[in-house]
Amino acid sequence: MAHIVVLGAGIGGMSVAYELRGTLGKGPAITVVGEGDLFSFTPSNPWVAVGWRKPSDVQIQVPGYLARHDIAFEAIGADKVDPQHDRVLLRDGRHVEYDHLVIATGPRLAFDEVPGLGPHGGFTHSICTTPHATSAWEAYKAFLDDPGPVVVGAAAGASCFGPAYEFAMILDRDLRKRKLRDRVPITYVSPEPYVGHMGLGGVGDSRGLMESEFRQRHIRWIVNARITGVRDGEMDVTEMDEDGQPKKSHALPFRYSMVLPAFTGVDAVRNVEGLCNPRGFVLIDKHQRNPAYPNIHSLGVCVAIPPVEATPVPTGAPKTGFMIESMVTAVAHNIQAELAGRPATAEATWNAICLADMGDTGVAFVALPQIPPRNVTWARVDKWVHLAKIAFEKYFLMKMKSGNTEPAYEKYVLKLLGILRTR
């Protein structure tokens, strides 16, 4: 009997484990290797960081739900992938052998690339994980007693800017509700060449749209910016010109800061020869398979995708929920074909759809495909986006409990937007 190992128990890993079981039936053994017992719905982390959600609202215990679908679970975490022997070495010295491996680890958070960045030994907070967001909330509560300047943004090499935009505007909304906004200057700092670039080269008039939203909320921005160091209460930022040369230096004071780091591949895969690019992201072909090891598939944030365009300060391409969902389906169908002795033919759609909450309203970005020229380019700000994101949070957590494999973005989000799926 074939054994399929899924490395990662986040949005991509849990989704592909359920999809594999639904597609393949009861035959193959499936094991998920995660980091601890909890699944977190990471898109809700900005809400956790301002106290609008408790961690328990956005997390579920993984083992029991997987077991209902005859999916084994290892919570100890992976030490290293050993593709030469078709096995994953676990952190307790054991190993799990596989016939097919699906890598869906998400990223390593590269706080170490900027001195003083991050919540572990640094001076900024993060919303990349639910524990990080919980720590950010504890610091925010103390900040409310003595408010002052705030810096929100992303470091050079970051690839998912939506949460930074969300957090800046959710913070603005929360401070207004508390009647403290007038005491808190907010600055958004980003390597993007302009506000609304999003790592996508812009989506429609996203530049004008996001600049307008920032002006309305009195949020100052510094773009084409590289954060070079952080000290307690002060951030060094170098603004670059269009040729990538230093243009202006800023020493930004802050009482509270949330900065998204650059991503790399996780330690278990990043140094495996032939598996990853120099940043540790898993190399894949158009069927989500690694060229050097065809029985290894990968999906989600951990895969290697070239940037949409070159920018003066490095920015990466985001991997949005719809793209991950499409990768999940392609992986499941291709493994099904390979187990049946047929060639893999399924391909993921490289489309980007992002629902970003703004606290009391929201913005939807649609880029089909992600890399221009596009068949659909669409961006809107409306109250319904805020409500849709709340509804999607509830739906996805229910999906992770039930093992439902319906493609949520295709079934609900694109229908809501009036957009058909484009292959």
Catalytic residue numbers read: 160, 354
Q: Which residue in 314, 348, 343 sits closest to 331, CA to CA?
A: 348
In this structure, the number of other CB atoms found within 10 A of the CB of residue 111 comes to 23
DSSP code per residue over 16-73: HHHHHHHHHTTSSEEEEE-BSSEEE-GGGHHHHHTTSS-GGGSEEEHHHHHHTTTEEE
| Separation between Cα atoms, residue 19 and residue 25, nearest integer Å | 10
Q: In what order do the strands lie in the sheet with 352-357?
A: 352-357, 362-368, 376-382
CB burial readout 326-359, b (16+ within 10 A) else e: bbbbbbbbbbbebeeeeebebbbbbbbbbbbbbb
**Which residue stretches of 86-233 are H helix?**
130-145, 162-177, 206-216
Instruction: Please list, in sequence order, all residues whose beta carbon lies within 8 angstroms of the beta carbon of residue 5, skipping any fewer than 6 positions away.
Output: 30, 31, 32, 33, 88, 96, 98, 100, 101, 102
| Separation between Cα atoms, residue 189 and residue 187, nearest integer Å | 6
